[in-house]
Chains A and B, each alone.
Chain A
């Protein structure tokens, strides 16, 4: 069954969506969408380094994304440059450095489009193992840190005063986001990863009364977006990554429709 590239594509996409949904909720709650985008853009530099040093691309993306997240956290401590300006600088700089580095390696013939926008149909058995193995690991860690991370997200000072080691949990969250970026790269590409984190979570908000139900709903909406997007991609021969994002957008827009007085006050 796994010999069929279509089956592998669907399994890979579903695997990523199941992790991206719950983790994406934290991105939305903590207003980290642009932060996540910057981490993802840094991933291209990771790809370039992977080719340069001949190391595993997934691992390189994870390390570089995490590194830029830590640099960002350090830079945000100073007050001279506002946070969004800082993100704007680092996000596009990271992407550009990656592109320039790749261009310098003239001997390389890599399909840049596949890294920028994803090439889900080229997912192999090993990729599938990385996605599901990494994904399950991220979900397990997320479940383990869920309560304190939620407390730190609701109010950081309150959580700290009540004995939650907030900085440690923030670091764990960065690590999880970097991991998801690394394993999701093949599916939607570096430029579109944040949308897979943010759109399902945003679509789930209106129908959720608790943080947990929002996480589960976001995972389900993500899976539906992957199935719809890949279906579209096959039917109409559109690029797979953008097709998944378009499907997610359609689901988000549908979530805005007035479904009676459903959860009006929640």
Chain B
């Protein structure tokens, strides 16, 4: 057990942002947090990180736990001259070789000397992921790691994250609005709408009535479709290039695609 919360609540400006949240993340496990915007996903993550103080319940972290964090938003002003390698070692001391190994693991070793401001959205996410890995974390916390990444990039990024779990053995707490892709790799999915409305293995959550109420029946259908056909790539419209003769209905998963580009606003951020 890396992190455990019991009956956790965060109260800000006269209302509960989250309440009665029981969450555990264990070593080698991917826990995915989904839920509507404003449902408290980022608040929960920030509380786990120690950025927000809980107002109710308890939060336990394994003693000496090192956390690698990829924030939801990362913007560096042009006035700050910073290379990628320097960004990597802001809070840890590491040799050039160690930095390069981490960057190469996420496929961006060639960007080591690039100015941070010149990175694309996908490159930035991979650099931030490498940066988190450089800390040799016991727990990786990834808040919407596929933002600003195109659809095929998303799948590649999730495969990378899944690979990290296998090679590093760390626990991963993942926030996503992106249901259909993320569920494949998750051990457990927690649907958060201020409180936990359902949780369990992806299939259980997808078929639960609370989940259907939040995301609509077609979102659940999209998950099951994806479960059956994870051996091929989906094109942007949800169709499967070069593979037309199977019986499944490939609707664009509305619940998932509609939420693209929407960002949960940060709360309680001093």
- Cα–Cα distance between A106 and B92 once the two chains are bound (Å): 58
Q: Is the CB of A154 within 8 A of B80?
A: yes
Given A210-B81, A213-B81: A162 and B135 interface contact (C-beta under 8 Å): yes
Q: Shortest CB–CB separation between residue A152 and chain B, in angstroms?
A: 9
Given A147-B90, A155-B71: A160 and B81 interface contact (C-beta under 8 Å): no
Query: In the complex, which residues of chain B have a beta carbon less than 8 angstroms from the beta carbon of A28?
Result: 79
Taking CB atoms and an 8 Å cut-off, the chain A residues in 126-175 that contact chain B are 147-148, 150-151, 153-155, 157-164
Query: In the complex, which residues of chain B have a beta carbon less than 8 angstroms from the beta carbon of A211?
Result: 80-82, 86
Query: In the complex, which residues of chain B have a beta carbon less than 8 angstroms from the beta carbon of A164?
Result: 91
- Cα–Cα distance between A77 and B79 once the two chains are bound (Å): 25
Q: Shortest CB–CB separation between residue A203 and chain B, in angstroms?
A: 12
- Cα–Cα distance between A223 and B118 once the two chains are bound (Å): 32
Q: Is the CB of A160 within 8 A of B51?
A: yes
Query: In the complex, which residues of chain A have a beta carbon less than 8 angstroms from the beta carbon of B141?
Result: 161
Q: Shortest CB–CB separation between residue B37 and chain A, in angstroms?
A: 19
Q: Is the CB of B270 within 8 A of A160?
A: no
0/1 string, B44-57, CB within 8 A of A gives 1: 00100111000000
Please tell me if A266 contacts chain B, counting CB pairs below 8 Å: yes
Question: Which residue of chain B has the shortest Cβ distance to A151 in the bound complex?
Answer: B90
Q: Shortest CB–CB separation between residue A222 and chain B, in angstroms?
A: 17
Q: Shortest CB–CB separation between residue A33 and chain B, in angstroms?
A: 11
0/1 string, B83-123, CB within 8 A of A gives 1: 10011001110000000000000000000000100100000
Q: Is the CB of A157 within 8 A of B71?
A: yes
Q: Is the CB of B74 within 8 A of A155?
A: yes
Q: Is the CB of B115 within 8 A of A154?
A: no
- Cα–Cα distance between A211 and B82 once the two chains are bound (Å): 7
Q: How big is the A interface, by class? A: 20 to 34
Query: In the complex, which residues of chain A have a beta carbon less than 8 angstroms from the beta carbon of B18?
Result: none
- Cα–Cα distance between A89 and B67 once the two chains are bound (Å): 41
Q: Which single member of B67, B80, B270 contacts A161 (CB below 8 Å)?
A: B67
Give the dominant DSSP class at B's interface.
loop
Given A209-B83, A210-B86: A159 and B115 interface contact (C-beta under 8 Å): no
Given A77-B270, A266-B115: A162 and B81 interface contact (C-beta under 8 Å): no
Question: Which residue of chain B has the shortest Cβ distance to A167 in the bound complex?
Answer: B270
- Cα–Cα distance between A28 and B141 once the two chains are bound (Å): 31
Q: How big is the B interface, by class? A: 20 to 34
Q: Which single member of A31, A77, A158 contacts B71 (CB below 8 Å)?
A: A158
Please tell me if B262 contacts chain A, counting CB pairs below 8 Å: no
- Cα–Cα distance between A161 and B79 once the two chains are bound (Å): 24
Question: Which residue of chain B has the shortest Cβ distance to A209 in the bound complex?
Answer: B81
Please tell me if B226 contacts chain A, counting CB pairs below 8 Å: no
Query: In the complex, which residues of chain B have a beta carbon less than 8 angstroms from the beta carbon of A153?
Result: 80
Q: Is the CB of A29 within 8 A of B79?
A: yes
Query: In the complex, which residues of chain B have a beta carbon less than 8 angstroms from the beta carbon of A77?
Result: 270
Q: Is the CB of B90 within 8 A of A205?
A: no
Please tell me if A63 contacts chain B, counting CB pairs below 8 Å: no
0/1 string, A175-208, CB within 8 A of B gives 1: 0000000000000000000000000001001001
- Cα–Cα distance between A154 and B91 once the two chains are bound (Å): 11
Q: Is the CB of B83 within 8 A of A210?
A: yes
Please tell me if B211 contacts chain A, counting CB pairs below 8 Å: no
Q: Is the CB of B79 within 8 A of A205?
A: yes
Please tell me if A120 contacts chain B, counting CB pairs below 8 Å: no
Q: Which single member of A161, A209, A213, A214 contacts B51 (CB below 8 Å)?
A: A161
Please tell me if B77 contacts chain A, counting CB pairs below 8 Å: yes
Query: In the complex, which residues of chain A have a beta carbon less than 8 angstroms from the beta carbon of B115?
Result: 209, 265-266
Q: Is the CB of B81 within 8 A of A205?
A: yes
Q: Shortest CB–CB separation between residue B81 and chain A, in angstroms?
A: 5
Query: In the complex, which residues of chain B have a beta carbon less than 8 angstroms from the beta carbon of A208?
Result: 81
- Cα–Cα distance between A235 and B74 once the two chains are bound (Å): 50
Q: Is the CB of A154 within 8 A of B81?
A: no
Q: Is the CB of B91 within 8 A of A157?
A: no
Query: In the complex, which residues of chain B have a beta carbon less than 8 angstroms from the beta carbon of A147?
Result: 90-91
**Which has the most chain B C-beta neighbours within 10 Å: A148, A151, A162, A265?**
A162
- Cα–Cα distance between A164 and B67 once the two chains are bound (Å): 13
Q: Is the CB of B91 within 8 A of A163?
A: yes
Q: Shortest CB–CB separation between residue B61 and chain A, in angstroms?
A: 12
Q: Beyond A154-B76, A158-B74, list 14 extra A-B contacts (CB 8 Å).
A: A147-B90, A154-B80, A154-B90, A157-B51, A158-B71, A162-B91, A205-B79, A205-B81, A209-B81, A209-B83, A210-B81, A210-B86, A211-B86, A265-B118
